[in-house]
Chains A and B, each alone.
Chain A
Amino acid sequence: MNTIAMKPVSVTNDVMPSNRSPKVVSRGVKVFYGEKEALHGVDLDIHEREVTALIGPSGCGKSTFLRCMNRMNDVVEGCRIEGKIAIDGDDIYDKRIDVVQLRARVGMVFQKPNPFPKSIYENVAYGPRIHGIAQGKEELDEIVETSLNRAGLWNEVKDRLDKPGTGLSGGQQQRLCIARAIAVSPEVILMDEPCSALDPIATAKIEELIDELRENFTIVIVTHSMQQAARVSQRTAFFHLGDLVEVGDTSQIFTNPKEERTQAYITGRFG
């Protein structure tokens, strides 16, 4: 018998992933743009208070899937979604769900920093204001300060809260957008390539911020950089041509992936 008993490499990690409960559960999610099927049935669990990275080549459907989770695909003309996505057990595509409330629970940070053309204070205060979260000016001030603190921006802007948000540098603007997203106390934060428009130092600051945020928020990040996915996430899902090819612990995916396609992509044999 020419076999030897072997086992997968065990990797120590300061935080053991995936014994957390699933926060966002997707089953059989398909997305159609008109007649074209862009996502072919995705089953994916996003676990709470950890970072899940979605990787894959351009056009593989990872951004499309991300945007399903806060129903931003609703505003795209001709876009149709089948399947079920449940957050804490509630199907978010149910007719009775209020999309506005959903988007307060599931926040989003976009690829290109897009602060409102208002003051820094107003940028962060806008969300709490329209959702009626704050009971008065003092409480609103507190929320703004906490959010900016959490985003690591408070010390840099506390003396110029009334200056326009668009006057900040790229990295600061993106942190402002993150502060804006967390000001409404979401449970899940979706990030669509948040660092692709930033320089390496700003990117590193945001990655550090993501690491701090995951203590309180569930984060899903779409990224083109595999190194970033490897640095930042605890679980990684690989998409290719509209299929979810493989999902697993980040360290396992990047040292010994199970699927041939995954290995070929992450070693740079295709893309």
Chain B
Amino acid sequence: MTDSALPMTVADSATRAPRKLVLDEKRVRSRYAAERRFRAYGIAAIAFGLFFLAWLFITLILQGYGSLQQSKMRLDVTLDAATLAPGGQVDENALRAADYTALLRTALRTTLGVGSDRGERREAYALLSNGADNELRSRVLADPSLIGKTVSVWVSAAADVDTLIKGQISRDLPENQRRLNNRQIAWTDKLVADGRLEKRFNTALFVNGASSDPEQAGMGVAIIGSLYMMLVVLLTALPVGVAAAVYLEEFAQRNRWTDLIEVNINNLAAVPSIVFGLLGLAIFLNFFGMPRSAPVVGGLVLALMTLPVVIIATRASIKAVPPSIREAALGVGASKMQVITHHVVPLALPGILTGTIIGMARALGETAPLLLIGMVAFVVAAPATPFDPATALPVQIYMWAGAPERAFVERTSAAILILLVFLIIMNAAAVVLRRRFERRW
């Protein structure tokens, strides 16, 4: 250490006047102002993002909350034994096949006081939902003892009535531009005044499958389809991904081949999802001949898409386990397998779970690959197994968004909200699981 290496100010500081600590220097002030500005930029950026997020949610909620209610009308239906149980026998097949529409229409005519004029009758029947007979059918099948009685049932009104009641169409338009004419509107108002027409909770939205009648359309099939797909993704991508990552990280030698594999996995995570759809089409549908539109196929395609994400997350988590833990386990005489299964993977679990759930959340919202494998079908009945046809939530949203009826607008917003709620739940689950499994080392 020679003195020439020391800065001159060290020698001078003994003779120089002591530096002031009071903040009246211009440089200090401008530095503080710069820091304040920087903080303000950050807050502005966050506010910008939050603003758009809030706009999205508010718009969706305002547009969609109406779909939670469906206009239904109360009719006193005579469950005519002759129609439902001919010959005095209560036969399930006969009950299923019976003409409930006729019963409902009879009740409607009575309520509205409609005569025999065909035109008038047609207009009156238009107030009733096309699927109202299903609602009555399920009621009777559930309780056959009602046959022969006159019961008061709430059945769905037609979508046009519904939109009128919700004020979504204007009454001021000239008659020939409206879907309901003046007489129909007068009937509607009368039913409302009599307390026979009101908005009730729309269970159909959550339970039913696809339907061309908006009042009967529901996300039930889509929700179940998405759930089956997520299940398939979880059961496929998680074990395969973790096993692949463990092998690559712990056992594989570091050579050109493994480097190549690593590069490819990283790239696969960024491949557009529609490519996976093409892959699924070629392999699962064409080569293996699996059923079209089945959640199994959709799940497998999405699993392929999620696999790189799981592998990358697992590798990162395994790398983060400190080598001191491995050494400690090896020092006590654990074999390589025991080190991995008893120590490394449990400590890497929070990261693995987080990566998996985030990958699954992304898969939940993917539409493009599902379109290619045909999950865009019009499925009415809920799938009993993952091999039965179904749709997925994002696909359902896509289909409703393209439908012409006015009533589908609010239902589309509702479906988007449901999808967002699922995504939020999954991310929250990721956070909770991570906290639970986190262990300090």
Contacts and interface: CB of A to CB of B under 8 A. Distances in A.
B333 interface: yes
Interface string A90-116: 000000000011111001111010111
B439 A180 contact: no
B325, B330, B335: most-surrounded residue (chain A CB, <10 A): B330
A16 interface: no
Interface residues of B, number: 21
A127 B330 contact: no
Nearest to A102: B333
Nearest to A70: B331
B330 A72 contact: yes
B347 A130 contact: no
A116 B329 CA distance: 8
Contact of A107 (B332, B342, B343): B332
Interface in A112-150: 112, 114-117, 126-127, 130-131
B438 to A, nearest CB: 10
Given A103-B332, A109-B331, A114-B322, 16 more contacts: A72-B330, A72-B331, A75-B330, A107-B331, A110-B328, A110-B331, A116-B343, A117-B325, A117-B439, A126-B334, A126-B342, A127-B332, A130-B332, A130-B342, A180-B332, A181-B332
B182 interface: no
Contacts of B439: 117, 164
30 contacts: A72-B327, A72-B331, A75-B330, A77-B254, A100-B334, A101-B333, A103-B330, A103-B332, A107-B331, A107-B332, A109-B331, A110-B327, A110-B328, A110-B331, A112-B324, A114-B322, A114-B325, A116-B328, A117-B439, A126-B332, A126-B334, A127-B332, A127-B333, A130-B333, A130-B334, A130-B338, A166-B440, A180-B328, A180-B332, A184-B333
A181 B331 contact: yes
B441 interface: yes
Interface string B156-192: 0000000000000000000000000000000000000
Contact of A108 (B331, B334, B342): B331
Given A77-B254, A130-B338, A166 B441 contact: yes
Interface string B265-302: 00000000000000000000000000000000000000
A110 B343 contact: no
Interface in B404-441: 439-441
A262 to B, nearest CB: 29
Interface string A155-181: 000000000101000000000010011
A184 B96 CA distance: 73
B356 to A, nearest CB: 22
A101 B335 CA distance: 9
Contact of A115 (B322, B328, B335, B338): B328
A72 B323 CA distance: 13
* In the complex, the 4 A-B pairs of residues with the closest C-beta atoms, listed nearest first: A108-B331, A104-B333, A103-B333, A114-B324
B331 A103 contact: yes
Contacts of A164: 439-440
Contacts of B254: 77
A77 B253 CA distance: 10
A166 B327 CA distance: 16
Interface in B120-179: none
B298 to A, nearest CB: 39
B67 to A, nearest CB: 49
A115 B439 CA distance: 13
B412 to A, nearest CB: 49
A227 B325 CA distance: 30
B122 to A, nearest CB: 75
A207 B324 CA distance: 23
B331 A100 contact: no
A165 B434 CA distance: 21
Given A117-B347, A117-B439, A166-B440, A110 B332 contact: no
Nearest to B346: A117
Contacts of A110: 324, 327-328, 331
Contacts of A108: 327, 331
Nearest to B335: A100
Contacts of A109: 331
A88 B254 CA distance: 37
Contacts of B333: 100-104, 127, 130-131, 184
Contacts of A127: 332-333
Contacts of A116: 325, 328-329, 343
A75 B440 CA distance: 25
A26 B396 CA distance: 74
Contacts of A100: 333-335
